[in-house]
């Protein structure tokens, strides 16, 4: 009992200390965090000040390097200008003296011949003479090195810097510039590195800073500017100056007092940090609300996308880079007859691939997973439903890109084209039926064509037969001349009978769309073949036939029988157009000339056949329907002649056209390709 009374206050004190620790633990932790934050902010402020100073120094160094390069380039242009206008030695020395007065960085200017022998030399007036003429001969190593580099580059070049001793133990760091000139020779300028820094850099750059030329390994050559002050911090910046033939380093050392440990704005900084902490809490609360709103919007968007995917009839499938299915929509499941779980958790072959095509599909999938780009227009394939039936699909694939822009797989869209294939088959069958109907219609066309085309040779046969009968039925014995006329008439009958057979064969091939035999025929032969029939009808109608052929016409490649029918039809139409009592002069002109084609060695050459009459002409109303089948202006016409003529000419690659003739009449023209 006394022991319990002694231990009870100890336990109470322990509980009190524990409650105090719990109460102040978070505050102590917060104070430590704030103190650490303040120390960090002060350190960052000092570091920022140091970085700003270094940044300004780096910028000054870059500007100084740019000024040096610009100044050296201007000096090269000035040296070249000293020889402008073909200056002689005295003129150049006068110009060089003026240049040395304007450029303190130059110690000496020399004009040397292609062998580096000095032709003229002028020293700077601002310092005691540094070089002797004996030392500046053609064997001077630095000048020879600079000019050798300039000769290789075809542009100005510099030598490495070298030390030139002067009186009283002093000396200069000198850089040689060699500039090739037109016509041969060189201009050599000796630079003082110290004077180069002084003259080519802005004076304000060396105030409070030290500017120096150093070699690439850090060896200091020359320096100008203010010396370092005690209690200052050194800031250094250096940049390479890469000149043709030599590389120098420009180094700038800046002096600045070390920033205070606690800047003067410390109080304002602490206040600003406190305000910033509160602002961060407010922003965090707003950010939390925005995140919750974004999550709700994302959930709505996902639900909307899910509804869209469930409503489309296009199958969708996603695969990862290993070819495993990661997503399918209900349309795809309905298309192949498998559930989403069966497709996404299948460890065996893809279940909707036909067995006989699985190997080919595996190879195609390997090519796609290797990074091959699928065709944008898609490709066809065959899938297998769960019941084993096959159906065609059209597949479109595209890379699946995540929010970071990386490809995580492939997204595919599938369209079942079974119905499309069925419709195409029905369309093909309908097309075959239409073609059969067209062939039946062609039979009627063939009959009309034969009746039209055979009219002319049969009429000629009848005419020749009647003439033969008249000669044979004449009183008295036939004379020798009459025998010749009868023999000529019989030959004409045989020719026209053979021509009727050729017409039947040509029209038969024309209707069946067979490839007809074409031959090389001279224009004269084509016209001579139809000329007897043309003259026969011309005598009946009182028409004079005139022929005109251009000299040295080449042969044409054509179906001779069909082209002769075209000529005969056009001539016959022209003579019938002139069958008017009021016409006193009836002339039909047949003309063959070279057609004006497009220029060039590969242009096809054409011949133009024209048939011109002096008839009543063609009105605009008739011209619009002139080549329409079965349209005619004559009571006894069938309306097929011009339509068939145009078809024949176009099958030969030519064109049939017409135009009015002045003062009256019509000209029909058509073209045929030559044999060449």
Is the Cβ–Cβ distance between 641 and 629 less than 8 Å?
Answer: no
HSE, side-chain direction, 13 A CA sphere, residue 660? 10
pLDDT reported for residue 1: 47
Q: What are the two backbone dihedrals, phi and then psi, of residue 45, each rounded to the nearest 5 degrees? A: -65, -45
The pLDDT of 293-305, averaged and rounded, is 83
- How many residues belong to the chain? 676
- Is 622 found in the same domain as 474? no
pLDDT reported for residue 330: 84
State how far the Cα of 98 lies from the Cα of 673, in Å rounded to an integer: 83
For 209, residues 6+ apart whose C-beta sits below 8 A from its C-beta are 57, 60, 225, 226, 252, 253, 254, 255
- Is 671 found in the same domain as 528? yes
Q: Which two tokens stand for residue 105?
A: 């960085």
Chain centroid to Cα 470, Å, comes to: 82
- Residue 618, in any domain of the structure: yes
The pLDDT of 234-259, averaged and rounded, is 80
Look up the domain containing 391 and give its range: 312-416
- Residue 48, in any domain of the structure: no
- Is 153 found in the same domain as 142? yes
Residue 276: Cβ within 10 Å count: 12
Is the Cβ–Cβ distance between 244 and 149 less than 8 Å?
Answer: yes
CATH number assigned to the domain comprising residue 238: 3.30.450.20
Among 478, 575, 585, CA closest to 533:
575
Among 149, 214, 217, CA closest to 180:
149
Q: What are the two backbone dihedrals, phi and then psi, of residue 169, each rounded to the nearest 5 degrees? A: 75, 5
Residue 54: Cβ within 10 Å count: 15
The pLDDT of 636-648, averaged and rounded, is 77
Buried-exposed string 213-233: b where 16+ CB fall within 10 A, e elsewhere: bbeeeeeebbbbbeeeeeeee
Among 630, 461, 600, 603, CA closest to 532:
461
Q: Residue 515, SS3?
A: coil
- Residue 339, in any domain of the structure: yes
Q: Please determine, for residue 617, whether its predicted confidence score (pLDDT) is greater than 80.
A: yes
Among 415, 354, 348, 361, CA closest to 389:
354
State how far the Cα of 536 lies from the Cα of 539, in Å rounded to an integer: 5
- Is 452 found in the same domain as 549? no
Q: Give the H or E element holding residue 68.
A: helix 2-81
- Residue 154, in any domain of the structure: yes
pLDDT digits (tens, 9 = 90+) for 3-37: 555 556 666 667 766 765 665 565 566 556 766 76
Q: Are strands 162-165 and 157-158 parallel, antiparallel or unpaired?
A: unpaired
CATH number assigned to the domain comprising residue 464: 1.10.287
- Confidence category of residue 474, pLDDT binned at 50, 70, 90: low
The least confident of 188-202, 320-334, 366-380, 556-570 is 366-380
pLDDT digits (tens, 9 = 90+) for 76-125: 888 888 887 777 788 888 888 888 888 888 888 888 888 888 888 888 88
For 240, residues 6+ apart whose C-beta sits below 8 A from its C-beta are 216, 247, 248, 249, 250
- Is 320 found in the same domain as 180? no
Q: Residue 599, SS3?
A: coil
- Is 317 found in the same domain as 234? no
Q: Please determine, for residue 478, whether its predicted confidence score (pLDDT) is greater than 60.
A: no
Q: Residue 519, SS3?
A: strand
pLDDT digits (tens, 9 = 90+) for 397-421: 888 788 788 887 778 888 888 888 8
The pLDDT of 325-339, averaged and rounded, is 82
Q: Give the H or E element holding residue 448.
A: helix 418-453
Give the rounded percent of residues in the chain with a pLDDT score beyond 90. Answer: 5
Mean pLDDT of the chain: 77
* Tally of structural domains, the chain: 4
Cross-strand bridge partners of residue 178: 157, 188
- Is 468 found in the same domain as 371? no
- Confidence category of residue 671, pLDDT binned at 50, 70, 90: very high
Q: Please determine, for residue 601, whether its predicted confidence score (pLDDT) is greater than 50.
A: no
- Is 144 found in the same domain as 85? yes
Is the Cβ–Cβ distance between 108 and 184 less than 8 Å?
Answer: no
pLDDT reported for residue 539: 87
Is the whole-model pTM more than 0.75? Answer: no
Is the Cβ–Cβ distance between 626 and 641 less than 8 Å?
Answer: no
- Confidence category of residue 610, pLDDT binned at 50, 70, 90: very high
- Residue 11, in any domain of the structure: no
Q: Please determine, for residue 66, whether its predicted confidence score (pLDDT) is greater than 60.
A: yes
The least confident of 314-323, 461-470, 640-649 is 461-470
């Amino acid at each position: 009992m006394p022991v319990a009374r002694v231990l009870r206050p100890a336990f109470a004190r322990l509980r009190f200390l524990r409650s105090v620790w719990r109460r102040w633990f978070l505050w102590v932790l917060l104070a430590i965090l704030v103190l650490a934050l303040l120390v960090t902010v002060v350190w960052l402020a000092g570091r920022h000040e140091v970085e700003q100073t270094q940044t300004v120094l780096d910028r000054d160094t870059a500007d100084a390097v740019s000024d040096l390069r610009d100044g050296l380039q201007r000096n090269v242009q000035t040296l070249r200008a000293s020889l402008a206008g073909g200056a002689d030695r005295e003129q150049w020395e006068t110009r060089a003296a003026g240049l040395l007065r304007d450029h303190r960085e130059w110690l000496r200017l020399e004009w040397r011949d292609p062998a580096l022998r000095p032709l003229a030399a002028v020293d700077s007036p601002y310092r005691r003479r540094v070089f002797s003429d004996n030392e500046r001969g053609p064997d001077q190593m630095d000048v020879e090195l600079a000019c050798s580099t300039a000769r290789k580059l075809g542009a100005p070049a510099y030598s490495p810097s070298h030390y030139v001793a002067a009186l009283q133990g002093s000396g200069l760091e000198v850089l040689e510039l060699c500039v090739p000139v037109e016509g041969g020779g060189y201009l050599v300028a000796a630079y003082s590195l110290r004077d180069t820094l002084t003259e080519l850099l802005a004076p304000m750059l060396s105030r409070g800073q030290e500017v120096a030329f150093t070699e690439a390994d850090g060896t200091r050559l020359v320096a100008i500017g203010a010396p370092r002050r005690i209690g200052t911090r050194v800031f250094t910046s250096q940049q390479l100056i890469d000149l043709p033939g030599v590389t120098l380093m420009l180094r700038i050392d800046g002096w600045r007092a070390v920033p205070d440990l606690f800047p003067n704005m410390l109080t304002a900084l602490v206040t600003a940090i406190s305000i910033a902490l509160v602002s961060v809490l407010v922003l965090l609360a707003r950010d939390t609300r925005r995140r919750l709103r974004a999550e709700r919007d994302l959930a709505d968007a996902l639900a909307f996308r899910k509804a869209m995917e469930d409503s489309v009839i296009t199958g969708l499938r996603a695969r990862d880079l290993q070819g495993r299915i990661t997503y399918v929509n209900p349309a795809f499941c309905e298309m192949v007859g498998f559930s989403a779980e069966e497709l996404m958790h299948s460890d065996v072959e893809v279940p909707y691939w036909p067995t006989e095509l699985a190997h080919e599909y595996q190879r195609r999938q390997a090519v796609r997973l290797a990074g091959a780009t699928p065709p944008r227009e898609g490709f066809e394939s065959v899938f297998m439903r769960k019941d084993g039936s096959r159906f065609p699909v059209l597949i479109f694939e595209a890379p699946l890109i995540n929010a970071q822009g990386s490809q995580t797989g492939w997204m595919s869209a599938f369209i079942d084209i079974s119905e499309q294939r069925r419709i195409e088959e029905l369309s093909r069958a309908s097309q075959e039926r239409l073609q059969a109907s067209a062939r039946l219609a062609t039979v009627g066309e063939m009959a009309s064509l034969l009746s039209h085309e055979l009219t002319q040779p049969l009429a000629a046969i009848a005419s020749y037969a009647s003439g033969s009968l008249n000669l044979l039925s004449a009183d008295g014995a036939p004379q020798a001349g009459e025998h010749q006329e009868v023999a000529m008439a019989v030959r004409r009958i045989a020719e026209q009978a053979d021509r009727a057979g050729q017409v039947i064969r040509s029209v038969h091939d024309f209707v069946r769309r067979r490839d007809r035999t074409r031959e090389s025929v001279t224009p004269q032969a084509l016209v001579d073949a139809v000329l007897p029939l043309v003259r026969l009808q011309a005598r009946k109608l009182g028409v004079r036939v005139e022929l005109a052929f251009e000299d040295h016409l080449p042969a044409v490649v054509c179906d001779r029988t069909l082209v002769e029918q075209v000529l005969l039809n056009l001539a016959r139409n022209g003579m019938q157009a002139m069958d008017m009592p009021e016409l006193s002069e009836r002339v039909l002109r047949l003309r063959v000339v070279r057609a004006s084609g497009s220029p060039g060695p590969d242009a096809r050459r054409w011949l133009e056949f024209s048939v011109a009459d002096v008839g009543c002409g063609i009105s605009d109303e008739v011209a619009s329907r002139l080549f329409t089948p079965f349209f005619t202006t004559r009571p006894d016409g069938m309306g097929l002649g011009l339509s068939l003529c145009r078809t024949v000419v176009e099958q030969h690659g030519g064109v049939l056209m017409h135009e009015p003739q002045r003062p009256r009449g019509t000209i029909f023209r058509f073209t045929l390709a030559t044999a060449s």
